Structure 1
Amino acid sequence: MKLEIRSPAFGYGAVIPQQYTGLGRDISPPLEWSGVPGEARSLALVVEDPDAPMGTWTHWLVYALSPQTRGLAEDQPRTQYLAGGARQGINDFRRLGYGGPLPPPGPPHRYFFRLYALDCELDLPPGLNRARLLEAMKGHIVAQAEWMGTFQRK
């Protein structure tokens, strides 16, 4: 079985509903996953926009997720810890938790929700930035999956 991630709120490559963006309620979308490999000791989620004018923009970091977790419900709190002890990092809006799409007016941006299965537990404090998280994950990724949505501000 292969690691897979999806959102029941929007299809792959489809427009992310406004409630999950900075123009709406700015709440995190529901996510579901399956196929976590048996050797996984933890999971990490990285959500980013590679089309941002200043370079890749981080929208959400969640790490130290239990490998038994099968998803995240809609509207996760913007706290250091989530249910089960998972931790949230700092996004490029300089706050904990999810920050929804809010691109400048122009062409659509792509938003990648990447789930990583790791062969170790990341015993790291909450509040990491993307660079520190990716460095800690280096050499420990046993599987990864992605879901992509788009959003455009006109």
Structure 2
Amino acid sequence: MFVTSKGIIDGVIGDRFGGHGTQFNDHGMPTYSLPFKIEEAPERTVSFALVLEDKDAYPVTGGFAWIHWLAANITRTELHENESQTATDFVQGSNSWTSMQGGSQSRAQSSFYGGMMPPDRDHIYELHVYALDCTLDLAPGFLLKAASRDGRSHSGQLHPQGQLSENMMGFPVRVGGRIWKTVIAVFLCFVLDTIRKTGVPFYAAIAAILCMQRSQQDSIWQAKNREIATIIGGIWGMLFLLFERYVFSIPVEVLRYAVLSLLLIPIIKFSVWIGQEKGTFLMCVVFLCVTVTHQADASPVSFALNRILDTTIGIITALVVNMIPWGSEA
């Protein structure tokens, strides 16, 4: 079973779902809830339950995880943004705003999504989605222990997202569609390299693997970032090697390494300036790959350009293969 959310980008929850958003209740609790989508649920599934919690809150609360959202009897595989406030086809439990640390908000007001407002630092939030073979006898404002106790009294026990697999249910493990797509894309990169006769299919294959995401939209986003980062890192590396070859060659190896390390500063600042912070890591990797491992090449410029071309081939291959419809995208 897989759970994804359009409200979480690169592991970061969008501002609108927490204290930096614009929707709050009378007590200042953020109420604009996260969307999420469930895929490949077990065949016996009748309903879903969810728990959104913050274990990083232990030092702040004095010893308990902060519950941001409890919900059960969800019979759909997708909840949209703000459905904690607008939907009526599932039941919601009490969050931690009923505690003293949360201002002792009433049970009725706390029986919704309560967004993130970490007071000390960035926190890691865990969204657990459970598949059940029944609906639970729960009233609005139920507590977590009630949902857990009721869920475990049925044959379809609560299964945390990420731990349930067909193997656990007595069926053989399948290889999902996205895995097969990745294999096909990498193989095509190898085949294309035999035609190009570069002898280095590695870079195209790596690009294909990284760009083979769960959805075409995610693949395009990853492809754009990787292509931009590779081009920028390759150009920076190519310019440095050209400077060394035709203007001034640094004679001391340690001094050369110091200069290369310092040049990471303008690369990182440049990536921030053009709004490509997500590609900063790759820019630096490509720059160092060009300048450290290939400074002695007969044609460093040719190497840099070929690496950019390899990445482009890998990206295009991944995007094309990912368009193939497949029953399972595990």
TM-score category by the smaller chain?
0.7 to 0.9
Q: Cα deviations across residues 41-79 of structure 1 (Å, max 9, x unaligned)?
A: 21101100011022211000110111xx12110012447
Gaps of 5+ in 2: 23-29, 99-109, 163-330
Equivalent residue number for residue 75 of structure 1: 82
**Partner amino acid, structure 1, of 2:157:** I
CA distance in 1, matches of 2:77, 2:45: 13
Query: Which protein is bigger by CA-based radius of gyration?
Result: 2
Structure with the larger strand share? 1
- 2:113 and 2:37 map into 1 onto residues whose CA distance is 16
SS at match of 2:150: helix
The structure that is helix-richer by fraction is 2
User: Using CA pairs below 8 Å that are at least 6 residues apart, which structure has the higher relative contact order?
Assistant: 1
Supply the AA of the counterpart residue of 1:42: S
> Percent of aligned pairs with the same residue?
32
Cα deviation, residue 134, structure 1: 1.8
Q: 1:59 aligns with which of 68, 77, 81?
A: 68
Instruction: Kindly provide the amino acid, as one letter, of the partner of residue 97 in structure 1.
Output: F
**Residue type of the alignment partner of 2:71:** V
Distance 1:131 1:9, change over 3 A: same
CA contact 1:91–1:99 (8 Å) conserved in 2: yes
8 Å Cα contact 1:4-1:145 kept in structure 2:
yes
Q: Does 1:37 align with 2:53?
A: no
Q: Is the 8 A contact 2:152 2:158 kept in 1?
A: no
**Equivalent position amino acid for 1:91 in 2:** N
What is the CA–CA distance in structure 1 between the aligned matches of 2:128 and 2:93, rounded to whole Å? 15
| Structure 2 CA distance for partners of 1:142 and 1:62, relative to 1, 3 Å | closer
**RMSD of the TM alignment (CA)?**
1.9
Matches within 5 A, 1:1-154: 3-11=1-9, 14-25=11-22, 26=30, 27-52=32-57, 53=59, 54=61, 55-66=64-75, 69-78=76-85, 82-83=87-88, 85-94=89-98, 95-106=110-121, 108-138=122-152, 140-141=156-157, 143-145=159-161
Q: Deviations over 1:96-117 (max 9, x none)?
A: 11001111123x2111111100
Q: How many residues align?
A: 137
CA distance in 2: counterparts of 1:134 and 1:74, whole angstroms: 25
Q: Which consecutive segments of 4 or more residues in structure 1 shift more than 4 A? A: none
Structure 1 residue runs of 5 or longer lacking an equivalent are 147-154
Q: Offset of 1:143 from its aligned partner?
A: 3.5
Tell me how far apart the structure 2 counterparts of residues 40 and 62 of structure 1 sit (CA, whole Å).
Answer: 16
